[in-house]
Chain A
Amino acid sequence: MFTTYRLELPEPVTLNKLQIPVFTHMFLQNVSAHKVQVDPIQGKRISVTYLSSYPREQIEREVAIFLERFTPEHDEASASSAEILEPELNMVELDEPPLEKLCSCCTPGNQRNISDDLLEQRWLTLLKNQELAYHRPIITLLEYFDQSYVDYVGRRIGDCQQRQYSVLLPASFAEKMNYFHSAPMHLLLATHLSHDHETMKSFAADVSANNGKLPQDCGPYLETPPYILQSAPCYKVYMEMEDQVFEDNTAFVLKGQSFRNEGKRVYLLERLLNFTMREFVFLGTPEYVTRMRDLTLGWTIEWMEAAGLKGECALANDPFFLPGKVKQNFKVPKHVKYEVRADIPYKNDTISIASYDTHGDFFAKTFNFRLRDNAETWSGCIGLGLERVVWSFLQQYGLQSEHWPAAIPESVK
């Protein structure tokens, strides 16, 4: 039923343990294979398993195209990291997080895709325009995983400042950090009609003439967007801290909405235009921010292990905050972003459920906040995507709660 073949990655690609999950994920997005495995010892050899009925030449062609794009000269990610390497940016080499601990080795009991079950059993219902309604079991799981994460990680961090903010990020604030350069395709903007009376009137007339529909070209009626819909909740912390001097290393905890324009790629709870994120944000010395990276990644893995969620840590290549062009002399670590990825057993793949970004002094310098006695102030944050936690949990254990790990309390089942 399945056929396997092996090949060596082209020079100079060699994958370390932290890069393998991301490679595997991207591979499966681009190649019609059932499974891909990367030799964890050498990081050079891969084994591709595909449905025997699929033409071998086709698979080989897909693999070749994917690998060509993946090799550094052609890789988008490295093209942008080449840009980051402009002389203004001061790269700092940090130690890697403690790899040996960063794997949650559980044994999920479900191998089937649960998408149909979710809809049939009405845990989710599909509305028009790719909108979803979450029903009670999903809501309960979202609440449970959020609370248990805050309990587990928050308690270990100790004193955390709690915050709650709106979803709107003022455009002027975003401009300061060069936000609009970084990922324009993911932008969602919030605007309103121009306050001018005449404009309002002609807008209303236009709508009436158009049978209640929005005018084809709204541009002339709209203000330049005063807001964007935030892509991560933590920006508001930096906004709050603007021009502040603070005494000690500080941790914040907040839950908020994230917006990413995923276009046609949205898929149930796996990829949403708008999802919920639980975040911890750390401001303080470089040592503190780096230490919190290692600790919170480790605790996140421990928390997953406690809940039965299988996954591992990986090195990601898309730091969310770095603009294409930087003006100031920022100090930023070489590896900005580490992800925690959870297994999706039915497709032998993983998805990112959390990530820690070490921003260096990017936000501190951009928004002029600092520690009182310290020349250098850094920031970092870890965000957990709650819908994806629930999604990967259900993909790993199915909908029948009697098959869920014992750690999940009765009240949630």
Chain B
Amino acid sequence: MSVAAEPLVYFYVPGYKPNYIEYAMTFYPMNIILCLEDGTPEEKKLEARYVVKNALQEFSSDSEHTLIVRVNSVHTPHWEQDLEELVPERPARIRLPMVRTAEDLRQVERKVQDVIHQRSLNYSPSYEVMIECCEAIFNLGEIHQASQNIYAFTFGGTDYFDDCVAKGLVDPALEVRKAKQKLGEYCRSVGLQCFDTTYMAYRDLEGFREDCLLSREYGFTGRSVIHPDQVAVVQDIYGISIA
């Protein structure tokens, strides 16, 4: 699979919806995240693996898209099965949600290597590591050291917010901003790509634009989107380097 898409926009599509995948592939030649995690409800996990596997096979020679699979986190019962079924299809990258510690990441890499050996695959995966809880920010340096194959860090805003609420922090929104700032700064200092979280209020394009401007200032280099209207904004803002 060639990696031609610009590393700016990451279009999320729920893994169990073939028509959404086809839609994104038809109209948006960019990074497509086939989501097995939050975008797919519990009872659809099996179906989603099947659909995503087929999509990876069907579009394997497609040069306009970079297909990334977001698997379920190591803290769920699904992640091993996800990797067993999808690593053989050699997605361009694997996005790993809720990595809390270096060990979380090592666990995934061991599993991926197992699958690669078992099947004698010619595949060297790279990872987009999602930072979405307070521990992860604390362990950032260690997580980064844990693997040679990190392509980027990405931020998961909703989960980070929820984590702050669960921990009883007074101002979760402020905590989210501080975390983003830290993550952005870290990535900038080590020269790593860093992608911002989705913005759920997709009708509020003005709000989205402002949020993107701020995020670019923090050091984020691209962003995930959930709606086609958001694509142009991301291209517009992250396309211009402020360095």
Q: Interface residues, chain A, CB within 8 Å of chain B?
A: 4, 6, 37, 39-42, 45, 47
**Closest beta carbon of chain A to B51's beta carbon, Å:** 18
Residues of A within 8 A of B227 (CB): 41
Residues of B within 8 A of A47 (CB): 26-27
Name the one of B29, B64, B228 contacting A41, with C-beta atoms under 8 angstroms: B228
Number of cross-chain contacts by CB at 8 Å: 19
> Which residue on A lies nearest to B232, using beta carbons?
A8
Q: Does B229 contact A (CB under 8 A)?
A: yes
**A contact face: mostly helix, strand, loop, or mixed:** strand
- Is B29 a contact of A6 with CB atoms below 8 Å? yes
Residues of A within 8 A of B228 (CB): 39, 41-42, 45
Q: In chain B, residues 1-52, which have Cβ atoms closer than 8 Å to a Cβ of chain A?
A: 23, 26-27, 29
Q: In chain B, residues 47-79, which have Cβ atoms closer than 8 Å to a Cβ of chain A?
A: 64
> Which residue on B lies nearest to A37, using beta carbons?
B26
**Closest beta carbon of chain A to B160's beta carbon, Å:** 29
A-B contact pairs, 19 of them (CB 8 A): A4-B26, A4-B64, A6-B27, A6-B29, A37-B26, A37-B27, A39-B23, A39-B27, A39-B228, A40-B23, A41-B23, A41-B227, A41-B228, A42-B228, A42-B229, A45-B27, A45-B228, A47-B26, A47-B27
Q: Interface residues, chain B, CB within 8 Å of chain A?
A: 23, 26-27, 29, 64, 227-229
**Closest beta carbon of chain B to A41's beta carbon, Å:** 6
CA distance A22 to B216 in the complex (A): 42
Residues of B within 8 A of A45 (CB): 27, 228
CA distance A260 to B189 in the complex (A): 73
**Closest beta carbon of chain B to A35's beta carbon, Å:** 10
> In the complex, which of the residues B27, B29, B64, B228 has the most CB atoms of chain A within 10 Å of its own CB atom?
B27
Residues of A within 8 A of B64 (CB): 4
CA distance A298 to B111 in the complex (A): 54
CA distance A40 to B23 in the complex (A): 9
Residues of B within 8 A of A40 (CB): 23
7 additional A-B residue pairs with CB within 8 Å, beyond A40-B23, A41-B227:
A4-B26, A37-B26, A41-B23, A42-B228, A42-B229, A45-B27, A45-B228
Residues of A within 8 A of B229 (CB): 42
> Which residue on B lies nearest to A40, using beta carbons?
B23
CA distance A6 to B232 in the complex (A): 14
**Closest beta carbon of chain B to A34's beta carbon, Å:** 14
> Which residue on B lies nearest to A35, using beta carbons?
B26
> Which residue on B lies nearest to A41, using beta carbons?
B228
CA distance A42 to B229 in the complex (A): 8
**Closest beta carbon of chain B to A6's beta carbon, Å:** 6
Residues of A within 8 A of B26 (CB): 4, 37, 47
**Closest beta carbon of chain A to B39's beta carbon, Å:** 17
Residues of A within 8 A of B23 (CB): 39-41
Residues of B within 8 A of A37 (CB): 26-27
**Closest beta carbon of chain A to B182's beta carbon, Å:** 35
**Closest beta carbon of chain A to B65's beta carbon, Å:** 11
Residues of B within 8 A of A4 (CB): 26, 64
Report, nearest first, the 8 A-B pairs whose CB atoms are least far apart. Answer: A39-B27, A47-B26, A45-B27, A42-B228, A37-B26, A41-B228, A47-B27, A6-B27
CA distance A189 to B175 in the complex (A): 80
CA distance A42 to B29 in the complex (A): 16
**Closest beta carbon of chain B to A17's beta carbon, Å:** 14
**Closest beta carbon of chain A to B231's beta carbon, Å:** 9
CA distance A41 to B27 in the complex (A): 11
CA distance A37 to B28 in the complex (A): 12
CA distance A370 to B64 in the complex (A): 62
> Which residue on B lies nearest to A8, using beta carbons?
B232
> Which residue on B lies nearest to A49, using beta carbons?
B26
CA distance A45 to B227 in the complex (A): 13
